Chains A and B, each alone.
Chain A
Amino acid sequence: MNYFQEGFVWLNDPLNWTNPGGLLDRLREHLEISLWAVLLGCAVGWPIGIWLGHRGRGGGAVVTVANLTLAIPTLALLTILPLTRLGFGKPPVVVALAVFAVPPLLANAYTGLRQIDPETRDAARGMGLSGGQLLRRVELPLAVPYLAAGLRTAAVQVVATAALAAFVNGGGLGEIISAGFGIGMSNGGGGQIVAGGLVVAVLALLVEALLAVFQWLVTPRPLRGVRRSRVAAAVPAG
């Protein structure tokens, strides 16, 4: 428990929060990177998932994509992307994280549109709705809970994975942990490592809780009681 006490002592020092490169700076960086990654993931995953779900095709492809990304180590993308045209800095980190945000967004969007009762769809068509109207007025509103579930899974995953950006000096809260290892365990770095780990873990749990509330809020009242399993649960950040 010695290291945990040191960790709390480290967290209790206001300077560790307000210093340049301290917790607050890193937290802001972490959230910035995560936000852009999730936005990019949504911009790619949702249109494709919604389109495939609307057409009712490509379910196998969605599953394959989701399974393939599971095998790619985050570290590999984080190190390879800066050496491509993206250059160093934030863009490669954002893209690398977005790659892992796409599968849950895609899979949930696809399932959200596929789970709609075919009779509902037939009724809408019978009322004379065109394909686009059907999508906008019937399918998308009914798929909102699933879209929110996908967003929650993806966001938690991105916030968790963003800590790994420190491996390539990409900023974020992982830098606190890596700086602790730089100080060295015997020189009091252990406390900082534990403190960094705690902050990252708490942040991930907070995001999960906040988005769970968000998901509950956007779910229409009659559907709230229904327990539905999430299509693609978050995978540990590899």
Chain B
Amino acid sequence: MSFLSRAPVPAWPLAAPTDEGPGNPWISWRYLHDNAGALLSALEYHAGLTARAVILALIVALPLAVVAYWIRPLTGPILALSGILYTIPSLALLALVAPVVGTTTDTSVLIALVLYALLVLVRNALAGLTQVPPEVRDAAAGMGYGKFGRLWRIELPLALPGIMTGLRLATVSTVALVTVGSLIGKGGLGDLILGGFRNNFFKAEILAGAVMCVALALVLDLVLAGLTRLLTPWMRERPS
């Protein structure tokens, strides 16, 4: 419940370093040095929560996309539902989930993250699957592939670029979205940002949290882009 614990504002900054020039600098190496442990653990928690959310979402999203692909009448409803869920603000979703699940663990944040990541993943995986040319499917059927064999050997690999695009989008937006979890004090780097704001506007802490958050998103995006290149060697020759 860190969200509302507003202590009376002290007259002087509590944690702002006093021996680094006047006031409250945006970048304080002393702060970074003294709090390296706390910063790293927040980063680790942030990355871990992102990974758990995206992996869980991927495990649920792929079967959903395949079901929507196989049973065409279900495609419309699944996409419409995803659109509606996507419109619901993250804070509202968290406010609806948190009281039911409890605010002592990060389960409610995880649920909200999985729901949002799910929708990006389903949409992109479905787009990837529907882009498989009908000739290729016919050829596979002609070669004697069954429904599952065709899916596993032909359609999923060909849908891989779409799936990976969804995975990158989902990962980047999940990293940013974790910060909303600081509503219940489970926001990883978001807790740093909000904590700095509450701590008499301690700029060094705010900026450290924000920069680490953006950097984490960019690094994960680059890693996934590299992974895409490794997984889809046939895409490399064609500049897209």
Residues of A at the B interface (CB closer than 8 Å) are: 3, 67, 70-76, 79-80, 82-83, 156, 159-161, 163-164, 166-168, 174, 177-182, 184-185, 190, 193-194, 196-198, 200-201, 204-205, 208, 233-238
Determine if A200 and B176 form an interchain contact, defined as CB atoms under 8 angstroms apart: no
Question: Which residues in A have their C-beta under 8 angstroms from that of B218?
Answer: 71
Instruction: Give the dominant DSSP class at B's interface.
Output: helix
Determine if A238 and B179 form an interchain contact, defined as CB atoms under 8 angstroms apart: yes
Assembly CA distance A168 to B196 (angstroms): 11
Assembly CA distance A35 to B84 (angstroms): 22
Other-chain residue from B84, B92, B175, B206 in contact with A200 (beta carbon distance below 8 A): B92
Proximity bits, B184-210, A CB within 8 Å = 1, else 0: 100101100110110001010011011
> Known: A168-B197, A208-B87, A238-B173. Is A201-B206 also a contact (CB below 8 A)?
no
Determine if B99 and A182 form an interchain contact, defined as CB atoms under 8 angstroms apart: no
Question: Which residues in A have their C-beta under 8 angstroms from that of B194?
Answer: 75, 79, 167
Assembly CA distance A182 to B173 (angstroms): 28
Assembly CA distance A124 to B208 (angstroms): 53
Question: Which residues in B have their C-beta under 8 angstroms from that of A75?
Answer: 179-180, 182, 187, 190, 193-194
Determine if A182 and B4 form an interchain contact, defined as CB atoms under 8 angstroms apart: yes
Proximity bits, B101-139, A CB within 8 Å = 1, else 0: 001000000000000100000000000000000000000
Other-chain residue from B96, B172, B176, B203 in contact with A83 (beta carbon distance below 8 A): B203
CB of A86 to closest CB in B, whole Å: 13
Would you mind naming 10 contact pairs between A and B with Cβ atoms under 8 Å apart? A67-B172, A75-B187, A76-B193, A80-B210, A193-B98, A196-B95, A204-B87, A236-B86, A238-B177, A238-B179
Assembly CA distance A7 to B86 (angstroms): 22
Assembly CA distance A25 to B130 (angstroms): 47
Determine if A80 and B1 form an interchain contact, defined as CB atoms under 8 angstroms apart: no
Q: Which residue of A lies closest to B209 (CB)?
A: A76
Q: Which residue of B lies closest to A161 (CB)?
A: B89
> Known: A72-B214, A73-B179, A200-B92. Is A178-B3 also a contact (CB below 8 A)?
yes
Question: Which residues in B have their C-beta under 8 angstroms from that of A79?
Answer: 193-194, 196-197, 206, 210
> Known: A71-B217, A164-B180, A181-B4. Is A201-B93 also a contact (CB below 8 A)?
yes
Interface check B11, CB cutoff 8 A = no
> Known: A75-B182, A79-B193. Is A177-B91 also a contact (CB below 8 A)?
yes
Other than A160-B87, A177-B91, A196-B92, give 14 A-B pairs with Cβ distance below 8 A: A3-B100, A67-B172, A71-B176, A73-B179, A74-B176, A76-B206, A82-B201, A167-B197, A179-B4, A181-B1, A194-B95, A197-B93, A205-B84, A236-B173
Question: Which residues in B have their C-beta under 8 angstroms from that of A3?
Answer: 99-100
| Most chain B Cβ neighbours within 10 Å, of A156, A180, A237 | A237
> Known: A73-B210, A178-B3. Is A236-B90 also a contact (CB below 8 A)?
yes
Question: Which residues in A have their C-beta under 8 angstroms from that of B58?
Answer: none
> Known: A83-B201, A193-B95. Is A237-B1 also a contact (CB below 8 A)?
no
> Known: A193-B98, A200-B92, A237-B89. Is A71-B180 also a contact (CB below 8 A)?
no
Determine if B87 and A70 form an interchain contact, defined as CB atoms under 8 angstroms apart: no
Question: Which residues in B have their C-beta under 8 angstroms from that of A80?
Answer: 206-207, 210
| Most chain A Cβ neighbours within 10 Å, of B4, B91, B175, B221 | B91
CB of B155 to closest CB in A, whole Å: 21
Assembly CA distance A184 to B175 (angstroms): 28
CB of B161 to closest CB in A, whole Å: 16
